[in-house]
Amino acid sequence: MKYYILGGTGFIGNYLISFLLDQGAEVTALVRDESRIKARSQNLKLIKGDPMKKGTWQETLHESEIIINLVGFPVMTKWTEKNKQLILSSRVDSTNNVVEAMKHTEPRTFICANAVGYYGPRGDEQVDEQSGPGTDFLARVSVQWQESAQAAEKLGHRVIISRFPAVLGQGGGAMAKMLPVFRLGLGGKLSSGRQWFPWVHIFDLVRALHFLSLKNEIHGPVNICAPQQITNADFTRAMSKVLGRPALFRVPGLALKLIYGEVGQMLLTGQRCVPGILQKAGFEFKFPEIEMALADIAAR
């Protein structure tokens, strides 16, 4: 199979490219900085270009059967008006450019990243792929992002909206900032810790993307989250146990809101997600439980 990856220099992208190459796939990656691609193989082709801008790179999409868009300005940053616009435009503009290029290709599979933030704050309500969207900023971004990707369906392509939770892995993602703090014994729950914490191990995420690329009968939204539903307090206890370090601190909710603004509010809410489509399709998680996942990451 031939894959075309946008956003391949990021945390998820690097893991995904390495995994696909290990599977014997041919991979083309659209990059702005070739030095940020860790994998090197004769089966890897690098094309320089900016996914947020139209360019000659669009003419190369037809060479691949599977197109995966992972482009997105980081969400865990101060939500100034400028950064909010970057969070939205990086996702929507890159997706629009992919769909425009797909007007000139035979039917392809387009897997577009998205987020479980689509569901918005839902309290203890369990949500699956049939649940509707929320109304907060991240939910609105996710809705527009999804609508941009689904425009490819009208062109005859198979479209999968892969909704990501917090992605846990060595070298980036949610663990990059948390692991050092917990290793020092300074970790703790956020506010009450009762908010739900959807998560997935990076290896299960890239395996799921590969799995979905081969399942032609699957299309539409897919939650790529671990089956175990945990709260922030559960996560904190698991980190403390795996690292053998205390996690006695508690970050007050008011402090989070004062320091991080809207991002702080986001950290105090969550979604109780289930990976309904993946489980129905028979996908097997290698890291279905949080302690198992954290132990693997800490050992690396």
Superfamily (CATH) of domain 2-171+198-225? NAD(P)-binding Rossmann-like Domain (3.40.50.720)
Q: Does residue 32 surpass a pLDDT of 80?
A: yes
pLDDT band at 29 (very low <50, low <70, confident <90, very high): very high
Q: How long, in residues, is the chain?
A: 300
When pLDDT is averaged across residues 150-177 and rounded to a whole number, the result is: 94
Judged on CB neighbours under 10 Å (0-12, 13-18, 19+), 214 is exposed
CA distances from residue 156 to 63, 143, 153 in whole angstroms, order as listed: 17, 21, 5
DSSP reduced 3-state for 167: strand
The pLDDT, as a whole number, for residue 197 is 96
The answer for 67, left when phi > 0, alpha when psi is -120 to 50, beta otherwise, is: beta
Are residues 146 and 114 in contact, defined by beta-carbon separation less than 8 angstroms? yes
Q: Where are the domains of the chain?
A: 2-171+198-225
Q: For residues 171 and 24, give the distance between their C-alpha atoms in angstroms, rounded to a whole number.
A: 24
If one compares 281 and 252, the residue with the highest pLDDT of the two is 281
Least confident of 11-20, 33-42, 124-133, 156-165: 33-42
Query: What pTM was estimated for this model as a whole?
Result: 0.95
CA distances from residue 214 to 31, 41, 50, 188, 205 in whole angstroms, order as listed: 25, 22, 27, 40, 15
pLDDT band at 247 (very low <50, low <70, confident <90, very high): confident
